[in-house]
Structure 1
């Protein structure tokens, strides 16, 4: 009897030793993470930890809802025996819900979308020479500053954004474009803003005065295709080389999702599909005339390469239709 009692006592002691109660904060959103397979992880701070870390396990008795921050008392138990390689060394169970607090998240609907400058320091800008995209995945801003293309890093916290130094090309343009570029860089570079959105309008405000410094508009998909559809577009630049490319050009029929054109020597036709600002060409076919002109033959080879079974990013700006491959500008067409 005494032996059984001793064994029971030791078992209880061992279990107690393997368990402890910890405080755990749970963030209001999950993040992609890599466990045994790709998954979404809760973000937690255990005990006095100051940084959020990915949580690859589960908490028995806890029902997580995105959009809420939690503080919990959790029983953390060390697993006994052989632990599988894909399992946590601990199990977790809810002891007490300390609080559940709803977190208001910032509107980030403007991210990863082309925004065209419409106003700077109260002055209307109507020519579409300045535009940008805030790329969340690459943590970069890129676009055109009036004359030159630019990119910059940024830090985003809620609706507050800090813009870093603008880096870009150094081309010279007409005086009006150069002046606009200088105004934009002065207003944008190394500045902090509050971002406010309303519909397709995006305002960059001074955090202290709440004055709108820069105003942008996001073109709708219908507006973009209204500018493209049915128009004849002539090739004027390929792989950063601008020149007369002869007959090379294209035309879209948005309703039937068909594309026709000339690639330098031969006429071609095919179909296309789009997802937001991504376009994929398929089933391209055409005439098979021999290209006697070497320049025309080279144009055809490159142009058909970019339009054959590939996905490109596209946008419309200042009467030009632009195509990008991995963020490199590869084809530029002008409206005829």
Structure 2
């Protein structure tokens, strides 16, 4: 009886550690999949925010240190991201503090709010979609820059 309990405990322990390893592999794969530069094409609820005024909105994911950086249309920003399967969140976001025209600052504000509210993502055909953590509504879309 003791041997049976010991065998069950070993099997359970082995399966739990393999689940953790599987989660790590999936997280790394997702991070590598996201790696690269993206040009923001739409911020939901604010289509006029992607105006021609200001610099293009960009997101650059670096898988090695799970960092992000880019341009908000006026300022540059940086931070980190956490990924777990399709869950995605951003943290430690900082930015320069340059002042720009009101339409550009409105675009920047909508973009930063979208990053702060992100809970998950989807990447299909080089189009990144960020979804809200509360109701899975679309926050923004971005096109991945493909290296040729």
Q: TM-score, normalised by structure 2?
A: 0.72
What does residue 3 of structure 2 align with? Answer: none
- SS of the residue corresponding to residue 35 of structure 2 reads coil
Distance 2:103 2:134 in 1: 31
What does residue 140 of structure 1 align with? Answer: 67
2:35 alignment partner, one of 112, 125, 130? 112
Residues 58, 72 of structure 2: 8 Å contact kept: yes
Please give the per-residue CA displacement for 1:258-297, whole angstroms capped at 9, x wherever unaligned: xxxxxxxxxxxxxxxxxxxxxxxxxxxxxxxxxxxxxxxx
Distance 2:66 2:127 in 1: 22
Which aligned runs of 4 or more in structure 1 are off by greater than 6 angstroms?
none
Q: Cα distance, 1:110 vs. partner? A: 4.3
Residues 118, 126 of structure 1: 8 Å contact kept: no
What does residue 78 of structure 2 align with? Answer: 151
What does residue 259 of structure 1 align with? Answer: none
Distance 1:181 1:130 in 2: 8
Distance 2:42 2:14 in 1: 43
Distance 2:104 2:51 in 1: 12
- SS of the residue corresponding to residue 114 of structure 1 reads strand
Please give the per-residue CA displacement for 1:212-268, whole angstroms capped at 9, x wherever unaligned: 11111112235xxxxxxxxxxxxxxxxxxxxxxxxxxxxxxxxxxxxxxxxxxxxxx
Please give the per-residue CA displacement for 1:277-320, whole angstroms capped at 9, x wherever unaligned: xxxxxxxxxxxxxxxxxxxxxxxxxxxxxxxxxxxxxxxxxxxx
Matches within 5 A, 1:211-290: 211-222=137-148
Residues 119, 134 of structure 2: 8 Å contact kept: no
Q: Cα distance, 1:51 vs. partner? A: 6.9
Distance 1:175 1:207 in 2: 28
Aligned length: 131
What does residue 45 of structure 1 align with? Answer: 17
5+ residue gaps, structure 1: 1-19, 27-43, 53-68, 70-104, 223-336
Give RMSD over aligned pairs. Answer: 3.0
Matches within 5 A, 1:175-194: 175-189=102-116, 191-194=117-120
Q: TM-score, normalised by structure 1?
A: 0.34
Residue 206 (1) aligns with residue 137 (2): no
Larger Rg: 1
Distance 2:147 2:87 in 1: 27
